Copies of this chain bind each other. A is one copy, B any other.
Amino acid sequence: MYNRVTDAIISELSQIVGAENTLVRPDAMEPYTHDHVTGLRADPEVVVKVRSAAEVAEIFRLAQREKISVTPRGAGYGLSGGAVPVMGGIVLSLERMTRILEIDRENLMVTVEPGVITGDLHRAVEALGLFYPPDPASLDSCTIGGNIAEGAGGPRAVKYGVTADYVCGLEAVLPSGQTISCGGKLVKNVTGYNLAQLLTGSEGTLAIVTKIILRLVPLPKHRIDLFVPYADFESAARTVSAIIAQGIVPTAMEFMEQDSLMAVERLLGRELPFRTAAAFLLFQLDGNHPEALQAEFETVGDLCLQHQAQDVLVAKDTTTRDRLWESRRKIIDALTNESPINHMEDVVVPRSQIPALLKGIHQIAANRQVRIISFGHAGDGNVHVNVLKDDLPTGDWERLVPQVAESIYRLTLSLGGMITGEHGIGVTRRPYLILALGEAQVDVMRRIKSAFDPNNILNPGKIFP
């Protein structure tokens, strides 16, 4: 289907990006064979590290001429295989495009290259009293370009929204080699179809983004965090509803169940407070006016206690805050510590359906006799569901995973949800796209893909079944 990358092509590529940015040795290419999906690997034939839109355009023209696939890559922290070169060919890495081009304080806009690490962007704008809220868990490793490709979210989505809500302008190179500029430093713009929003979350299948304009908001001056244990999850869920009903939208509302806390305890090798609680909520509140924030905090605290919280632990400084969030932050490491092989789903349901989702997942775990640990975003309905291999034989595991995944998807869809909230379809969820969206909608998406990439050279083998 695709041609092989020949020595002549490698030589041409190294003329475009420089020999030092053209990798062909297997050991040098190893980091580019995978992202953060357990067990998914594919070898590129060549890796090129570009420095500009012009280089991307030249590579596309070469790839079109030679019929070779191009897989774009940020930092490789994706969780659905979007950056894995499943058809071989060229991996096009944006890792050298790391410049923050401009922080425009007057217009509250920042212009960046795609390879900027999300956490670096946070720090750069916060130093000026500005705020870029999206905060995916891998923020100190992942790139803004990857966040755009995947439509990344994070805990602060409850109050502040996701990556897409901040994208105002994109420069992108089409698979044809043409460069387009969509939007700008504009919060209002209806000039033609909204391609900036279409490209966001398109998993690098429509174009390669080479410049990004994001809106910023003023950095909130004050913050309070709460850690709240409960004897049952239903009380925690009722607290969340009661807070929303009071007209309060916290910055973040995260949840864990006891099995998450136990796994973190085993990772850390020490007991954590409230280890006998069944469920935990973590809140973050922020604001500019200390008394307004204090009033909001008191209302939230009261509502927690009215809904049978066992206690309300509060942090107003960094040290206490880090302690409160420790267990939530360590969950992924703890799961790997429990079972090096595990499978993570990323379903999303209307917030009010989280209790029904968790109940159904407990049932699936019981029926399939497998350990499933869930945690996630109580405020926005996005739940990370982790199936652990533990000591299951490999063959059984490989049969089990798709069955469990499909059960979880059917449950999610029956609750008005969708099969991925912030991780993407990528390679791993392709077989289920039609189950989620129906044939007609997937057909339209295929035609959109063809509108951008008629020869299917850009990131093939992703999204579509």
**Which residues from chain A sit less than 8 Å from chain B, CB to CB?**
104-109, 129, 150-151, 153, 157-158, 161-162, 164-165, 174, 176, 178-195, 197-198, 200-202, 206, 217-219, 221, 241, 244-245, 247-249, 287-289, 291-292, 295-296, 348-352, 377, 380-382, 416-425, 433, 436-438, 440-442, 444-445, 447-448, 450-452, 463
Contact = CB atoms under 8 A, between A and B. Distances in A.
7 contacts: A189-B421, A191-B418, A194-B200, A289-B295, A291-B291, A444-B451, A447-B452
A405 to B, nearest CB: 14
A187 B451 contact: no
Contact of A165 (B165, B287, B423): B165
Given A188-B381, A420-B190, A438 B107 contact: no
B381 A186 contact: yes
Given A200-B194, A292-B291, A433-B192, A218 B248 contact: yes
Contacts of A202: 193-194
B107 A352 contact: yes
Given A180-B440, A190-B201, A190-B425, 6 more contacts: A104-B350, A129-B247, A187-B380, A189-B348, A189-B421, A219-B247
Contact of A247 (B153, B288, B438): B288
A178 B194 CA distance: 23
A349 B421 CA distance: 33
CB-CB nearest 5 A-B residue pairs: A218-B247, A289-B292, A447-B451, A292-B292, A178-B440
Nearest to A244: B108
Contacts of A183: 418
**Which has the most chain B C-beta neighbours within 10 Å: A129, A198, A452?**
A198
B192 A445 contact: yes
Contacts of A197: 164, 194, 197-198
Given A247-B288, A292-B289, A295-B289, A164 B221 contact: no
Contacts of A176: 440
B188 A157 contact: yes
Given A247-B218, A348-B186, A192 B289 contact: no
A350 B420 contact: no
Given A444-B195, A447-B451, A188 B380 contact: yes
Contacts of A129: 247
Contact of A440 (B174, B349, B351): B174
A248 B289 CA distance: 11
Nearest to A161: B187
B350 A188 contact: no
Contacts of A188: 153, 157, 162, 348, 377, 380-382, 421-422
A221 B292 CA distance: 13
Contact of A106 (B180, B184, B352, B444): B352
Contact of A190 (B107, B221, B421): B421
B418 A180 contact: no
A456 to B, nearest CB: 14
Contact of A350 (B185, B192, B201): B185
Contacts of A451: 444, 447-448, 450-451
Contact of A244 (B106, B192, B289, B296): B106
A115 B427 CA distance: 40
A423 B190 CA distance: 7
Given A174-B444, A221-B247, A425 B191 contact: yes
A241 B463 CA distance: 43
A441 B180 contact: yes
Contacts of A157: 187-188
B106 A422 contact: no
Contacts of A295: 289
A421 B193 contact: no
A350 B107 contact: yes
A204 B349 CA distance: 29
A183 to B, nearest CB: 7
A420 B198 contact: no
A109 B178 CA distance: 40
